[in-house]
Structure 1
Amino acid sequence: MTDLFARRASLSRSVRLLREFRYEQPDPARFYGALADDTAALVADLWRAEQRGAPTGRILLDVGGGPGYFAAAFTRAGFTYIGVEPDPAEMHGGPGVIDGAATYVRASGTALPFDDDSVDVCLSSNVAEHVAEPWRLGAEMLRVTKPGGLVVLSYTVWLGPFGGHETGLWHYLGGHRAARRYTRKHGHPPKNNYGSSLFAVSAADGLRWASATGALLAAFPRYHPRWAWWMVHVPVLREFAVSNVVLVLRPPTATGSTFRPS
């Protein structure tokens, strides 16, 4: 099912996205706008490959959607967008909110206020590493997605080069140490503080959880070119070489209580 997106997953795309990462702090609109457009293209390709049709009008629930860049991109791609955010400050100021292109719900991703089997696609982009119980989040995503729909869960791997987020490669010396160093250097703690808003999630953790659900369709590195996707299947190597894992799941015909978090 990844064939359509695989054609888009070129080396030039990987280089382009890597360059955009430089602008996360100085120009967030540029960085998050580019990331949102790329993510919308990814999800649309996955939908077309699995459903053999365009995603026009399909309801997409974005868990941790942020201030609106993703809302704008997915609306342009034809989806009906709903964002979930626990932090009201994140809901304001982005293009999706300003242009009225988004519906937002304030809630936790680990307790989604939606009925079972209520959305066509459920997306979580770079959120799982910020949740103390990431697979409870995954279970909720599966619960609210219609049978035959798609769940796309993408997260940053802790031992990858971007695992420490703004603390840089210092996270290899320990998350708490990296946070203390950042605080000393900048005069304030990092936004993504290890142990409270940033957690060590491995590639193996996600693959093990996804396989256990029986719903896993595909797993691949989000930002790598197609010819490097094999890395996600190699233990140990994937923890360091795969910076971000994409898990694509399809809820079975009957969800029942199988995917309800405990």
Structure 2
Amino acid sequence: MPQQSVPPSSAWAPTLRRSVRLFRAFRLEQTRPDVFYGALAEDSVGHLSEYADLAGSRMLDVGGGPGYFRRAFEDAGATYFALDADAGELSGLGEISPRTVLGSGMQLPFGDGTFDVCYSSNVLEHVSEPWRMADEMVRVTRPGGITFISYTVWFGPWGGHETAPWHYLGGRRARRRYRRAHGHEPKNRFGESLFAVTVRAGLDWAREQTDAEVLDVVPRYNPRAARWLTYVPVVREVVTWNLVIVLRRR
């Protein structure tokens, strides 16, 4: 794996400079989400364009949240649909945008093969059955279409989200520590809205599913030269902040 490599486009490349820019923006995820998610949205358009022509495509963003990605994908020519399980998240930037659906990523309310592109960023670790959601994303992608799944790796430096780095001592312990330190629960509550999802689990799912061809499995924020780390057991779990799995629907 990957079964087929896809050459990089001239418009986007996972260079060291890009990695540094994303890591700097990542530091603002909690305090300035517009900065981080704006940078990530722009980068996502370039990354996804490696595998699909977004112009004129019908795409679904699973866990689209308040809409940071909508403008970037619409500017690229896509007809953008967003789904989220939380109405509060969807309205985070004000009025809920058109083509927005309230529903579960583990049971997508769309027919088979509805979308040219099915995309999800940093959502898989927030659902109790992540690989059921991955299966659903493949299901609603049309034959020949692209499924792009990106998730935060549990044993990476940010696996515990705002409870990091204490998640290395256990998710529940980190959650209790955060509650004692701050007087309230973290936004991402281990066992309820945050789960331990690993690189190994993603590789296993990609290898075992049969409905799509695996095009790429890459660490999202790392330079392209570091992709080999994805296949080194134990090390990959720590150095891969975020894993991307790209598939083409059969």
TM-score (norm 2): 0.93
Residue 140 of structure 1 and its aligned partner are, at CA, apart by 0.5
2:20 counterpart of 1:15:
yes
Return the letter of the residue paired with 2:245: L
Return the letter of the residue paired with 1:56: A
Residue 23 of structure 1 and its aligned partner are, at CA, apart by 1.3
Pick the structure with more helix per residue.
Answer: 1
Name the counterpart of 1:258.
none
Which of 30, 40, 43 does residue 25 from structure 1 map onto?
30
Q: Which whole-Å deviations, capped at 9, do the CAs of 1:14-50 have from their partners, x for residues lacking one?
A: 1111111121122111111111111122112221xxx
Return the letter of the residue paired with 1:239: E
Give the distance between the partners of 1:103 and 1:41, measured in 2 at CA.
23
- With over 3 angstroms needed to count, the CA separation of the structure-2 counterparts of 1:110 and 1:179, relative to structure 1, is same
2:173 counterpart of 1:173:
no
Residue 164 of structure 1 and its aligned partner are, at CA, apart by 0.5
- The answer as to whether partners of 1:83 and 1:105 remain within 8 angstroms in 2 is yes
- The answer as to whether partners of 1:41 and 1:77 remain within 8 angstroms in 2 is no
Residue 119 of structure 1 and its aligned partner are, at CA, apart by 0.3
Residue 5 of structure 1 and its aligned partner are, at CA, apart by 5.5
- The answer as to whether partners of 1:44 and 1:77 remain within 8 angstroms in 2 is no
Name the counterpart of 2:59.
60
What percent of counterpart residues are identical? 53
- The answer as to whether partners of 2:59 and 2:78 remain within 8 angstroms in 1 is yes
- The answer as to whether partners of 2:6 and 2:215 remain within 8 angstroms in 1 is no
Q: Secondary structure at the match of 2:82?
A: strand
Q: Secondary structure at the match of 1:182?
A: helix
Return the letter of the residue paired with 2:45: A
Give the distance between the partners of 1:129 and 1:82, measured in 2 at CA.
21
Deviates more, 1:25-34 or 1:223-232: 25-34
Name the counterpart of 1:4.
8
Name the counterpart of 2:43.
38
Paired residue total: 243
Q: Which whole-Å deviations, capped at 9, do the CAs of 1:128-158 have from their partners, x for residues lacking one?
A: 1111100100110111100010001111111
Q: Secondary structure at the match of 1:148?
A: strand
Which of 116, 120, 127 does residue 116 from structure 2 map onto?
120
Give the distance between the partners of 2:238 and 2:93, measured in 1 at CA.
33
